Amino acid sequence: MMSAKVALAGNPNAGKSSIFNLLTGLRQKTANFPGVTVEKKTGTFKLGTSQVQLVDLPGTYSLFPNSKDEKLVCQVMCNPQNESFPDLVIYVADINQLERHLLLASQIIDLGVPTIVVLNMIDVFIENGHKVEPKPLADFLGVPVIAMNARNGEGLELLKQKLQLFLDEGAASFTRSAKIYTFSETEEKAAALANQVFNIDQAYRAKLTAHHYHWFEFLPEDLKSKMAAMLPSSGFEDIRIQIQETMRRFAVIQEVLPVVIETHTSREQKLSISVDNVLTHKIGGPVIFFGLMFIIFQSIFALAEYPMTWIENGFSYLGAHTRSFLPASWFTDLLVDGLLAGLSGVLVFAPQIVILFFFLALLEESGYMSRVVYMFDHIMQKFGLNGRSMVSLISSGACAIRAIMSTRTIGSWKETIITIMVAPLIPCSARIPVYTVLIALMVPAGLHYGPFNAQGLVFMALYLLGIVASLAVAFVMKLILKSDERSYLMLELPAYKKPIWSNVGLEVWDKLLAFVTNAGKVIVIISLGLWFLASYGPGNAIEEAVNKVNETTLHLTPEQHQAVLQSAQLEASYAGIIGKWIEPAIAPLGFDWKIGISLITSFAAREVFVGTMATIYSIGGDAEESSVRERMAAELKPGTNQPMYDTATSMSLLIFYAFALQCMSTLAVTKKETNSWKWPAIQFVLMTGMAYLGSWLTYHLLS
């Protein structure tokens, strides 16, 4: 069986991911490009007897890169040894923006890489009264050009036929014989020099290497110094020649375009401008934005309530039945108290995560997100951030990892660093489980203030706290960090589009899968480990504790006796010993050793809190499988009739989880993105310090 590597390339907003989804469906996965935190979407599909590997390259305007994303694409396309270097490029262009979108196409074709050009979004084009004529463009570009509408799959068969043709007959009809862009004398010299030093015989690749060799990671350092020594003599001025090339390419494209397609003002664009009269209005714009955010977070609570109850009940039922079917043994305990309790703790939050990611995908797909960037750029600058930081901060509401990865489009070093540092302060989806459980302990379910759900309002307040904290930290960092580098806004505002539901669906599915598998793995492993630590103690410490309870607590009712007994058993276990060990440090915050155990396990990932609580309160569990929430609500302060989780302790714990950086993956991605240990270290110390101080203050003010 043959296999081929195919890459999707094109400008941002050209509809690449729709075509990616059409070709691969669910056979796709998201990973990172090696060594960088740029998201790499790959997928496979079958074509006849061949297997095609498809890579979705990040959206790029030109091979003269301005951001990390674009640099990555440039390095892939200029290095045939790169593992992502494609056998064939499917170049996706928005036919309504053809002039601009052909710039990168002409560069890729000049690299000699076999290419198919897809003119996407022909539906809008035809609606505007234009005729699609791919042939003249194909004659000019020298590669196949096809028209498509990724929205309904029109043209997909033709694309597959062309791919099949490539597999059967090879690259000849997919490669242009001569370059579109003609070099000047200086450029010829620079390309010849790059060929001489780096041994690159493809002329345009050699020329691009002359521009970019100093940051190309795949070139050896000694050759780079050689190039640096030789290049100035050719009179090659990097920026001036970039500008010259870009302008001359556009001139060539403009010359051929009137024949193919007229430029025009589309109906779609007029509509976008009218919609933006409202959505980016001086007063209305920000009001609508905050209203939207409010609705989104209210609905996370309101809509997720029912499926969450179903999942919780399902697991209780499953646990009780497993226990009744299996003989009482350590294995049954492990299965029910360790594995099922841990799994339930994770899966119960799937509905909230689905809702959150659904709304985020919708904001992104529709084009609204770039309006947010535009509206808030000026305010963000006051805090040392960029308008683009808004995208990161909003996605931080889902996951800081994704947020930190999206900082790569910001461009300026200082704004990027500040965004990375403050993004984890915005409450992410992993805090939802913790907040949900703790808020439920303080605020009764079903309590309403007017039309608003009271739990939802507390939730909202915690989000505001996160936002205020992140802006405050950003402001302080703006004063401390020094940089002379300029920052830019220069942002495309794509026309509003009806979201493509399959794209939204796939995005949500992808994120849910990532949550369940990544968080799931960590939580299950920790739950199992914790079950062991909480069930066994050194020597016969647990037996001794049980005997001691039986001797001293004769005057208690059977229920009270059972509770004291469980507590004593846990206290004597390995987990109890660890919890006791850190208790002195956290007692000023109102926490006991059981919370201490959770804090320790949460340092890997904060959502583990609920699983840990589930495991801790399941150990030596009674016959009835009740939920974590109920068990925690029933917990009493040792030696009193006061609930353990009173307002002071619950609030203090909430504040701790709001600030503390309990997420290994965030630290790892910060390390990768900043390429140093310094920033993740500062981030960790700063946030943990804020958490401790915040909790201490809260506990002392409330108790």
Partner 1 sequence: MKKTILDLKVGQYALVRQFADFEATCKLLTMGLLPNARVELIRKAPFGGALYIRMQNHLIAMRENEAASVEIEIV
- Please name which of 606, 552, 601, 547 lies closest in space to residue 579, comparing C-alpha atoms: 601
CB closer to partner 1, 280 vs 419: 280
Residue 259 C-beta: closest distance to partner 1, Å: 17
> Is 467 an interacting residue with respect to partner 1 (CB under 8 A)?
no
Q: Which residue in the set 272, 409, 416, 503 belongs to the binding site for partner 1 (CB under 8 A)?
A: 272
DSSP 69-110: HHHHHHHHHT-TTSTT--SEEEEEEEGGGHHHHHHHHHHHHH
DSSP 355: H
Is residue 306 near partner 1 by the rule CB under 8 A?
A: no
Cβ atoms within 10 A of the Cβ of 623, count? 7
Map residues 141-180 to x or -, x wherever contact with partner 1 holds by CB under 8 A.
----------------------------------------
Which of 83, 154, 169, 492 binds partner 1 (CB under 8 A)? It is 492
Between 215 and 317, name the residue whose CB sits nearer to partner 1. 215
Rg of the chain over all Cα atoms, to the nearest angstrom: 30
379 CB-side CA count, 13 A: 9
Instruction: Provide CB contacts within 8 A for 371, sequence distance 6+.
Output: 276, 279, 280, 285, 493
> In the complex with partner 1, which residue's Cβ is closer, 317 or 488?
488
- CB nearer to partner 1: give 124 or 628: 124
Give 515-559 as a DSSP string.
Answer: IIIIIHHHHHHHHHHHHHHHH--STTHHHHHHHHHHHH-TTS-HH
Q: Name which of 179, 375, 346, 356 is nearest 279 in CA terms.
A: 375
Q: Does 208 bind partner 1 (CB under 8 A)?
A: no
Q: How far is the CB of 640 from partner 1 (least distance, A)?
A: 52
CA dihedral 625, 628, 632, 634 (to 10 degrees): -30
* Cβ closest to partner 1, residue 164 vs residue 266: 266
- Residues 6 or more apart whose CB falls under 8 angstroms from that of 90 comprise 6, 7, 8, 9, 19, 115, 116, 118, 159
**Interaction of residue 42 with partner 1, rule CB under 8 A:** no
Q: Are 18 and 503 in contact (CB under 8 A)?
A: yes
373 is an interface residue for partner 1 by CB under 8 A? yes
Tell me which of 2, 27, 99, 225 binds partner 1, using CB under 8 A. 99
**Cα separation, 563 vs 532, whole angstroms:** 20
- Within residues 43-72, the interface with partner 1 by CB under 8 A covers 61-62, 64, 66
C-alpha closest to that of 33 among 1, 70, 2, 4: 70
Site membership for partner 1, residue 601 (CB under 8 A)? no
> Is residue 366 a contact point for partner 1 (CB under 8 A)?
no
CB 79 within 8 A of CB 218: yes
Does residue 187 bind partner 1 (CB under 8 A)?
no
Taking CB under 8 A as the rule, does residue 258 contact partner 1?
no
User: Between residues 77 and 401, which has the closer beta carbon with respect to partner 1?
Assistant: 77
Question: Does 447 engage in binding with partner 1 (CB under 8 A)?
Answer: no
First to last CA, the chain: 71
Q: Phi and psi at residue 45, in whole multiples of 5°?
A: -155, 160
Assess 282 for contact with partner 1 (CB under 8 A). yes
416 binds partner 1 (CB under 8 A): no
Report the residue from 46, 264, 448, 637 that binds partner 1 according to the rule CB under 8 A. 264
Should residue 241 be labelled a site residue for partner 1 when binding is judged by CB under 8 A? no
Work out which of 178, 239, 328, 480 binds partner 1, going by CB under 8 A.
Answer: 239
Check binding of 488 to partner 1 (CB under 8 A): yes
To partner 1, the closest distance from the beta carbon of 406 in angstroms equals 18
Part of the chain binding partner 1 (CB under 8 A), chosen from 78-86, 224-232, 257-265, 402-410: 257-265
Would you say 370 or 453 has its CB closer to partner 1? Answer: 370
Handedness of CA 450, 451, 452, 453 (dihedral sign): positive
Q: Which of 21, 106, 195, 280 is the binder for partner 1 (CB under 8 A)?
A: 280
Burial status of residue 378 (CB atoms within 10 A of its CB: 0-12, 13-18, 19 or more): exposed
What does the DSSP 8-state code read for residue 123?
A: H
Choose one: 210-218, 356-364, 377-385, 601-609; the region binding partner 1 (CB under 8 A). 377-385
CB of 388 to partner 1, least distance (A): 11
- The full 3-state SS of 244-313, as one line of letters, equals HHHHHHHHHHHHHHHHHCCCCCCHHHHHHHHHHHHHCCCCHHHHHHHHHHHHHHHHHHHHHHHHHHHHHH
Residue 78, CB-side half-sphere exposure with 13 Å CA sphere: 31
User: Which among 147-155, 236-244, 326-334, 346-354 is the span making contact with partner 1, rule CB under 8 A?
Assistant: 236-244
Q: List beta partners, residue 157.
A: none
Q: Does 96 bind partner 1 (CB under 8 A)?
A: yes
Give the span between the Cα atoms of 238 and 244, in whole angstroms: 10
Write down the least CB distance from residue 280 to partner 1, Å. 7
Judged by beta carbon, residue 249 or residue 594, the one nearer partner 1 is: 249
Q: If you search the block for the tokens 């965030």, which residue do you land on?
A: 666
- The distance of closest approach from Cβ of residue 285 to partner 1 in the complex, given in angstroms and rounded to an integer, is 5
337 binds partner 1 (CB under 8 A): no
Question: Which stretch of DSSP H or E encloses residue 2?
Answer: none
The reply to whether 247 sits near partner 1 by the rule CB under 8 A is yes
Residues that bind partner 1 (CB under 8 A): 61-62, 64, 66, 96-97, 99-100, 103, 239, 242-243, 246-247, 250, 263-266, 269, 272-273, 276-277, 280-283, 285-286, 370, 373-379, 381, 387, 486, 488-495
